[in-house]
C-alpha cells in the first residue's frame, strides 16, 4: 500500500495536468474564436512577408518553423489571406514558387478552426495528377502538420487497395490521385465525403491533360456543394478556367507572374536551346553527360521506350556518372525508389518522360535537358521548372530539330520565355553510333528496345497537335535508325499516312484557292452561270472532267500554249499597265474556254495549270469506277503514253495476260491419250468402261498393290542415295582433318575414290554468321532434307522417265511454249 503522502502528491499532479489540459483547451478555443474573426477581418500589412504575420494557429506556426519556413513566397503571401477567409481561389504561379504551402496551410487551418476531430470524417481532399506528386505533397503535409491531431492518408494507385480501404474511413485529410480516389468512392464501404470542407486541385491543367476530366467530374459530383475549393497550376489554360467555372464559387484569381510582367519560368534559370539533327541527338547528349559528371541533370524524352533504350545503352557506355530512369512503364515501387534515390543523390542523370515534368520537387537539379521538344510551351515551362526552384539557380537546354526551330521559338516568345541559342562544339562531340550498333548486334534485347524507341518517337511526333512545328514527314528516318544502332528503319505505317494526308491537304488548299480565284473572276465578269458552277459541283461534273481528261488533253495543251503565248505577248509589250495585262489575259481565257459547252471544263482550265498538272496523279482512284472491263493491250499502251498510272498499266497488263493465258488453257491440267488427244485430268470415265475393268474393290486393291511396289522401289533407291551421301561426307571430313594436320591432300585427292573432288579452303575468318540472303544449305541440311525425303511418298519425287507425270510435265511445258 502506497504511503498517504505519495498518494496525495500523485493526486495533486493529476489534477495539475488536468488543469493544464483544461487551460490549454480553453486557450485553443479562444484561439479558434480569435482566428475566425481575425482571419475574416485580416488586412494585409505593408511589410507582409512572414508566416508569423498570418492569422493562423500556433500549431501550424510551430510546424512551419520546424520545417524551416519563415518568409512567404509571392504566391503564398497573395493567396493565403484569401484562402484563410474561406474564399475559393484559382492560383497561378510559376513552377517552384511554393504553391504547395499555399494550399496546405489553409487546409490545416480551416479544419482546426472547425475543431475537426477523428469522428468527423474526411475534411480536406487534395487531388494531384501523379503518384509522385501526391507523395511529395503528403511529405510536406507531414513536415508542417506534426502539431495537429488530424489523421492524414495517401491514396494512390499501385498500393495495397485493401489496406487503404481499412484506413480510409478514419482519415481527416487525404492526398489522392483521381483514378484511385474514384475507385474508393465507388467501392469502399464507409468512405464518406459528405462532410468535406476543403477541396484542392493541384496541377489542375495536368489533371485535365492526363484525361482525368471525366473522373474529376464524377469525383466532384460525390462531394458536397457547400465547400471551399482551391485550384492551383503553374500554367493557366482555357480548360483550367472552364474547370474553375464549374467547380469554384465566386473565386479569387491570383496570377503572380501577370502582376510582375515576368515570364512563367524561374528568375534564376538560364535557358538555352540547340538546333541538333535527329541523328545527332544521342551523340550530343552523351557528350554533354561525359563533360558534366559533377552535376545533377534531368533529361526529358517523349516516350518510355526512349528512356529505357537511352538508359540501358548509356549505362553500358559508362559515362562516369550515375544514370537513372523514370517512366510510366515501371512498377510503382520502382518509381518511388528512383524518385527518392534521385532526390538524395548529389550527382546523377535521370532520364524521364513527362511523368516527372510537373510538380516534382527534386532538390538542387542543375540542368534540365529536353532531348525531345515539348508538345507545347506549357510543358516546356513545367519541365524547366524542375530546376532553379525557390531561390536556387539552374540551367536548361532544349534540343530542337531544324524543322522544329521556328515553331518552338515562336511559342516560347509568345509566353515571354527568354531562351538563347548555343551550338554544340563539334570537337567535343563524341559519336556513339558504332557502340550502339555493336550493342544492338550483340544483344537482341537492345535491338528490340532500339526498334521500339524508334517507333515510339516517330509516333510521338505523329501524334503532336501542333502539326506546323512537328512534321513527321520531315524526319530523317534512316539516319535516325542508324543513330540508334539499327541496320535499317523499322517500317512505320503512319508515316506514309501522314505523307498522304499532307499531300491531300496541300492539294485541297490549292484547289480551294483555285476555286476561290475562279469564283472571284466570275464575280468580276458577272457570269452568274459560272458563279453557280464554281460553288456547287456535282459528282457528275467531276466525272465528266475525269472521263474527258485524256480526250481534252490536247485541247488543254493548246489552251495553255495559247495562254502562254498571250502572256509572252503581254510580257513583250512595251508598256502594258498591270491591270491591262491581267484583264487581257482573262478575257483571252474566257473567250477560249467559252468555246466549250461544259462549265466544268471552264473550271478545269481556269483553276489553272496546277489542277491540270496534278490530274495525272489524282485521276487514278477515280478510274477504278469501271473495273469490269479489261483493257486491250492497245488501250493499255495508248493509255500508258497518255501518262497513265503504273497501277492501271499493270492492271491492264495482268488482265491481258490472264486473257491470253485463258486462251492457252494454263492452269488446267491435261493428260494425253495414246492418240495424242488431250483430256482434262479429272475427266469422268464412262461408268460402263469402268465396270468392264472389274468391280471397284478389285480395282482398288490392284491400284494399292501397284502403288506399294512403286514406293518400295523408290525406297531402295533413296536408301542407296543416303548411304552414298554419308560415305561422301565421311571422306570429305577425313580430307579436311588431314588438311588441318598439314598433310598433302592433293595426293589423297588423286588417290581417293573420287579423284576429282576439290575441297573448299576453310575460312578461318568466318564468324559463323550468314545473312539470310546468302544462307546456302549446308551439307548436313542437304542430308536432313534427303532423309526427310525418304519418309515422303514417292509421289513427291521427280517423275520417272516415261511416267504419266513426266508426260504431263512435258505437255505443260509445251503448252507454256517453253522449249
Contact segment (CB under 6 A) with ligand ATP among 64-72, 313-321, 459-467, 540-548 equals: 64-72
DSSP label at 431? P
Of residues 97 and 794, the one with the C-beta less far from ligand ATP: 97
Chosen residue from 60, 77, 83, 95 binding ligand ATP by CB under 6 A = 95
Contact segment (CB under 6 A) with ligand ATP among 69-77, 447-455, 505-513, 751-759 equals: 69-77
Nearest 10 degrees: Cα torsion 247, 251, 252, 257: 30
Residue 317: Cβ-neighbour burial (10 angstroms; 0-12, 13-18, 19+): middle
Q: Could you tell me the smallest distance in angstroms from the CB atom of residue 103 to ligand ATP? A: 9
Chosen residue from 97, 177, 306, 395 binding ligand ATP by CB under 6 A = 97
Question: Residue count at the site for ligand ATP (CB under 6 A)?
Answer: 19
Q: Could you tell me the smallest distance in angstroms from the CB atom of residue 331 to ligand ATP? A: 24
Q: What are phi and psi of 725, to 5 degrees?
A: -60, -45
Distance between CA atoms of residues 367 and 342, nearest Å: 13
Q: Could you tell me the smallest distance in angstroms from the CB atom of residue 177 to ligand ATP? A: 15
Residues 663-682 that bind ligand ATP (CB under 6 A): none
Of residues 264 and 607, the one with the C-beta less far from ligand ATP: 264
Instruction: Dig out the grid coordinates for 318 from the structure.
Output: 559508362
Q: Does 348 engage in binding with ligand ATP (CB under 6 A)?
A: no
CA distances (Å), origin 605, targets 508, 543, 622 = 17, 16, 19
Of residues 67 and 223, the one with the C-beta less far from ligand ATP: 67
Q: Could you tell me the smallest distance in angstroms from the CB atom of residue 110 to ligand ATP? A: 19
Please answer whether residues 267 and 93 qualify as being in contact, where contact means their C-beta atoms are separated by less than 8 angstroms: no
Of residues 203 and 603, the one with the C-beta less far from ligand ATP: 203
CA 640 from chain centre, in angstroms, equals 42
Distance between CA atoms of residues 681 and 699, nearest Å: 19
| Site pattern 278..317 for ligand ATP (x: CB under 6 A) | ----------------------------------------
| Site pattern 357..376 for ligand ATP (x: CB under 6 A) | --x-x---------------
Q: Does 61 engage in binding with ligand ATP (CB under 6 A)?
A: no
Instruction: Dig out the grid coordinates for 746 from the structure.
Output: 592433293
Of residues 391 and 538, the one with the C-beta less far from ligand ATP: 391
DSSP label at 798? P
Residues 449-468 that bind ligand ATP (CB under 6 A): none
Q: Does 81 engage in binding with ligand ATP (CB under 6 A)?
A: no
The H or E element that residue 233 is part of is: strand 228-233
Of residues 121 and 394, the one with the C-beta less far from ligand ATP: 394
Distance between CA atoms of residues 545 and 537, nearest Å: 11
Distance between CA atoms of residues 813 and 794, nearest Å: 22
- Other residues' Cβ atoms within 10 Å of the Cβ of residue 333: 10
Residue 327: Cβ-neighbour burial (10 angstroms; 0-12, 13-18, 19+): buried
Q: Could you tell me the smallest distance in angstroms from the CB atom of residue 389 to ligand ATP? A: 5
Of residues 69 and 150, the one with the C-beta less far from ligand ATP: 69
Of residues 135 and 559, the one with the C-beta less far from ligand ATP: 135
Of residues 73 and 588, the one with the C-beta less far from ligand ATP: 73
Listed in sequence order, the residues at least 6 apart from 541 whose beta carbon sits closer than 8 Å to its beta carbon are 533, 599, 600
Nearest by Cα to 789 from 777, 797, 780, 778: 797
Q: Could you tell me the smallest distance in angstroms from the CB atom of residue 271 to ligand ATP? A: 16
| Site pattern 372..401 for ligand ATP (x: CB under 6 A) | -------------x---xx-----------
Chosen residue from 57, 69, 207, 612 binding ligand ATP by CB under 6 A = 69
Residues 234-263 that bind ligand ATP (CB under 6 A): 234
Q: Could you tell me the smallest distance in angstroms from the CB atom of residue 205 to ligand ATP? A: 11
Q: Could you tell me the smallest distance in angstroms from the CB atom of residue 237 to ligand ATP? A: 14
Q: Does 60 engage in binding with ligand ATP (CB under 6 A)?
A: no
Of residues 362 and 480, the one with the C-beta less far from ligand ATP: 362
User: How would you label 29-65 residue by residue, b for 16+ Cβ within 10 Å and e otherwise?
Assistant: eebeeebeeebeebeeeeeeeebebbbbbebbbebbe
Of residues 175 and 495, the one with the C-beta less far from ligand ATP: 175
Chosen residue from 57, 100, 379, 395 binding ligand ATP by CB under 6 A = 100
Q: Could you tell me the smallest distance in angstroms from the CB atom of residue 26 to ligand ATP? A: 32
Nearest by Cα to 96 from 66, 71, 75: 75
Contact segment (CB under 6 A) with ligand ATP among 17-25, 96-104, 553-561, 620-628 equals: 96-104
Chosen residue from 63, 81, 96, 652 binding ligand ATP by CB under 6 A = 96
Q: Does 230 engage in binding with ligand ATP (CB under 6 A)?
A: no
Q: Could you tell me the smallest distance in angstroms from the CB atom of residue 306 to ligand ATP? A: 23
Q: What is the arrangement of strands in the sheet containing 124-127, beginning at the earlier edge strand?
A: 152-155, 173-176, 124-127, 198-202, 228-233, 89-92, 252-255
Of residues 52 and 478, the one with the C-beta less far from ligand ATP: 52
Residues 612-651 that bind ligand ATP (CB under 6 A): none
Q: Could you tell me the smallest distance in angstroms from the CB atom of residue 363 to ligand ATP? A: 7
Chosen residue from 59, 87, 99, 589 binding ligand ATP by CB under 6 A = 99
Listed in sequence order, the residues at least 6 apart from 484 whose beta carbon sits closer than 8 Å to its beta carbon are 282, 309, 436, 440, 450, 453, 454
Q: Could you tell me the smallest distance in angstroms from the CB atom of residue 254 to ligand ATP? A: 13
Nearest by Cα to 232 from 201, 207, 187: 201
DSSP SS3 for 685: coil
The H or E element that residue 62 is part of is: helix 58-67
Pairing of strands 394-400, 367-370: parallel
Q: Could you tell me the smallest distance in angstroms from the CB atom of residue 346 to ligand ATP? A: 16
Q: What are phi and psi of 49, to 5 degrees?
A: -150, -10
Chosen residue from 39, 54, 56, 72 binding ligand ATP by CB under 6 A = 72
Chosen residue from 57, 60, 73, 229 binding ligand ATP by CB under 6 A = 73
Listed in sequence order, the residues at least 6 apart from 137 whose beta carbon sits closer than 8 Å to its beta carbon are 100, 104, 126, 128, 175, 202
| Site pattern 526..555 for ligand ATP (x: CB under 6 A) | ------------------------------
Q: Could you tell me the smallest distance in angstroms from the CB atom of residue 493 to ligand ATP? A: 38
CA dihedral (214, 217, 218, 219) positive or negative:
positive
Please answer whether residues 387 and 396 qualify as being in contact, where contact means their C-beta atoms are separated by less than 8 angstroms: yes
Nearest 10 degrees: Cα torsion 102, 107, 112, 118: -150
Of residues 59 and 305, the one with the C-beta less far from ligand ATP: 59
Of residues 71 and 260, the one with the C-beta less far from ligand ATP: 71
Distance between CA atoms of residues 588 and 593, nearest Å: 9
Q: Could you tell me the smallest distance in angstroms from the CB atom of residue 96 to ligand ATP? A: 4
Q: Could you tell me the smallest distance in angstroms from the CB atom of residue 385 to ligand ATP? A: 5
Nearest by Cα to 626 from 637, 639, 613: 639
Please answer whether residues 149 and 201 qualify as being in contact, where contact means their C-beta atoms are separated by less than 8 angstroms: no
* Residues at the contact surface with ligand ATP, assessed by CB under 6 A: 69, 71-73, 76, 93, 95-101, 234, 359, 361, 385, 389-390
Amino acid at each position: 500500500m502506497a504511503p498517504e503522502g505519495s498518494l496525495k502528491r500523485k493526486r495533486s499532479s493529476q489534477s495539475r495536468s488536468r488543469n493544464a489540459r483544461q487551460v490549454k483547451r480553453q486557450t485553443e478555443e479562444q484561439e479558434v474564436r480569435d482566428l475566425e474573426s481575425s482571419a475574416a477581418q485580416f488586412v494585409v500589412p505593408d511589410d507582409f512577408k512572414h508566416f508569423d504575420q498570418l492569422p493562423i494557429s500556433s500549431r501550424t506556426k510551430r510546424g512551419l518553423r520546424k520545417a524551416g519556413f519563415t518568409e512567404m513566397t509571392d504566391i503564398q503571401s497573395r493567396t493565403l489571406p484569401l484562402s484563410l477567409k474561406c474564399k475559393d481561389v484559382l492560383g497561378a504561379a510559376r513552377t517552384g514558387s511554393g504553391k504547395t504551402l499555399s494550399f496546405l496551410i489553409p487546409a490545416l487551418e480551416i479544419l482546426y478552426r472547425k475543431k475537426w476531430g477523428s469522428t468527423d470524417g474526411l475534411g480536406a481532399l487534395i487531388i494531384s495528377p501523379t503518384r509522385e506528386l501526391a507523395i511529395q505533397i503528403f511529405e510536406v503535409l507531414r513536415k508542417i502538420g506534426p502539431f495537429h491531431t488530424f489523421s492524414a492518408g495517401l491514396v494512390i494507385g499501385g498500393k495495397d487497395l485493401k489496406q487503404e480501404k481499412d484506413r480510409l474511413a478514419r482519415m481527416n485529410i487525404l492526398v489522392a490521385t483521381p483514378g484511385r480516389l474514384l475507385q474508393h468512392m465507388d467501392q469502399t464501404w464507409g468512405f464518406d465525403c459528405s462532410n468535406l470542407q476543403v477541396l484542392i486541385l493541384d496541377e489542375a491543367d495536368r489533371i485535365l491533360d492526363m484525361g482525368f476530366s471525366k473522373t474529376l467530374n464524377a469525383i466532384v459530383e460525390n462531394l458536397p456543394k457547400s465547400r471551399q475549393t482551391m485550384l492551383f497550376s503553374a500554367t493557366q489554360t482555357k480548360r483550367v478556367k472552364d474547370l474553375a467555372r464549374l467547380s469554384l464559387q465566386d473565386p479569387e484569381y491570383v496570377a503572380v507572374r501577370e502582376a510582375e510582367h515576368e515570364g512563367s519560368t524561374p528568375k534564376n534559370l538560364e535557358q538555352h536551346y540547340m538546333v541538333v539533327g535527329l541523328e545527332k541527338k544521342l551523340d550530343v547528349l552523351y557528350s554533354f553527360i561525359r563533360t558534366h559528371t559533377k552535376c545533377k541533370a534531368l533529361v526529358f524524352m517523349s516516350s518510355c521506350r526512349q528512356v529505357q533504350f537511352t538508359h540501358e545503352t548509356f549505362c553500358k557506355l559508362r559515362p562516369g556518372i550515375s544514370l537513372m530512369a523514370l517512366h510510366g512503364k515501371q512498377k510503382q515501387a520502382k518509381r518511388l525508389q528512383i524518385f527518392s534515390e534521385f532526390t538524395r543523390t548529389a550527382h546523377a542523370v535521370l532520364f524521364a518522360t513527362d511523368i516527372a515534368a510537373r510538380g516534382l520537387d527534386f532538390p538542387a537539379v542543375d540542368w534540365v535537358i529536353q532531348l525531345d521538344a515539348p508538345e507545347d510551351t506549357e510543358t516546356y515551362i513545367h519541365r524547366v521548372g524542375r530546376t532553379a526552384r525557390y531561390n536556387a539557380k539552374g540551367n536548361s537546354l532544349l534540343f530542337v530539330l531544324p524543322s522544329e526551330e521556328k515553331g518552338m521559338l515562336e511559342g516560347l516568345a509568345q509566353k515571354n520565355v527568354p531562351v538563347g541559342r548555343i551550338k554544340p562544339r563539334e570537337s567535343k562531340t563524341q559519336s556513339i553510333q558504332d557502340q550502339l550498333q555493336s550493342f544492338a548486334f550483340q544483344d537482341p534485347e537492345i535491338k528490340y528496345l532500339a526498334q521500339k524507341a524508334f517507333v515510339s518517337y516517330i509516333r510521338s511526333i505523329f501524334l503532336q497537335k501542333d502539326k506546323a512545328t512537328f512534321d513527321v514527314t520531315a524526319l530523317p528516318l534512316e539516319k535516325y535508325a542508324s543513330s540508334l544502332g539499327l541496320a535499317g528503319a523499322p517500317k512505320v505505317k503512319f508515316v506514309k499516312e501522314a505523307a498522304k494526308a499532307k499531300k491531300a491537304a496541300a492539294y485541297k488548299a490549292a484547289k480551294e484557292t483555285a476555286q476561290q480565284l475562279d469564283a472571284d473572276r466570275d464575280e468580276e465578269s458577272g457570269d452568274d452561270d459560272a458563279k453557280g458552277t464554281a460553288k456547287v459541283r456535282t459528282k457528275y461534273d467531276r466525272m465528266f472532267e475525269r472521263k474527258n481528261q485524256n480526250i481534252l488533253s490536247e485541247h488543254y495543251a493548246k489552251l495553255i500554249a495559247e495562254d502562254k503565248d498571250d502572256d509572252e505577248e503581254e510580257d513583250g509589250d512595251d508598256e502594258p499597265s498591270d491591270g491591262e495585262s491581267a484583264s487581257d489575259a482573262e478575257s483571252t481565257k474566257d473567250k477560249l474556254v467559252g468555246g466549250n459547252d461544259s462549265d466544268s471544263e471552264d473550271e478545269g482550265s481556269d483553276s489553272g495549270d496546277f489542277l491540270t498538272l496534278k490530274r495525272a496523279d489524282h485521276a487514278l482512284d477515280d478510274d477504278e469506277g469501271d473495273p469490269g472491263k479489261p483493257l486491250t493491250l492497245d488501250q493499255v499502251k495508248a493509255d500508258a503514253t497518255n501518262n497513265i498510272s503504273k497501277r492501271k498499266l499493270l492492271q491492264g497488263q495482268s488482265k491481258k495476260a490472264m486473257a491470253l493465258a485463258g486462251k492457252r488453257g494454263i492452269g488446267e491440267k491435261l493428260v494425253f491419250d495414246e492418240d495424242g488427244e488431250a483430256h482434262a485430268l479429272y475427266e469422268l470415265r464412262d461408268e460402263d468402261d469402268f465396270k468392264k475393268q472389274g468391280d471397284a474393290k478389285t480395282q482398288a486393291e490392284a491400284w494399292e498393290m501397284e502403288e506399294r511396289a512403286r514406293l518400295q522401289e523408290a525406297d531402295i533407291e533413296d536408301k542407296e542415295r543416303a548411304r552414298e551421301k554419308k560415305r561422301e561426307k565421311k571422306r570429305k571430313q577425313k580430307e579436311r582433318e588431314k588438311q588441318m594436320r598439314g598433310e598433302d591432300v592433293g595426293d589423297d585427292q588423286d588417290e581417293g575414290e573420287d579423284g576429282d573432288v576439290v575441297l573448299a579452303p576453310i575460312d578461318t575468318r568466318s564468324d559463323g554468321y550468314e545473312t539470310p540472303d546468302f544462307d546456302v544449305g549446308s551439307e548436313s541440311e542437304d542430308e536432313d532434307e534427303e532423309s526427310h525425303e525418304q519418309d515422303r511418298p514417292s509421289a513427291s519425287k521427280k517423275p520417272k522417265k516415261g511416267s504419266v507425270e513426266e508426260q504431263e510435265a512435258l505437255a505443260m511445258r509445251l503448252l507454256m511454249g517453253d522449249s
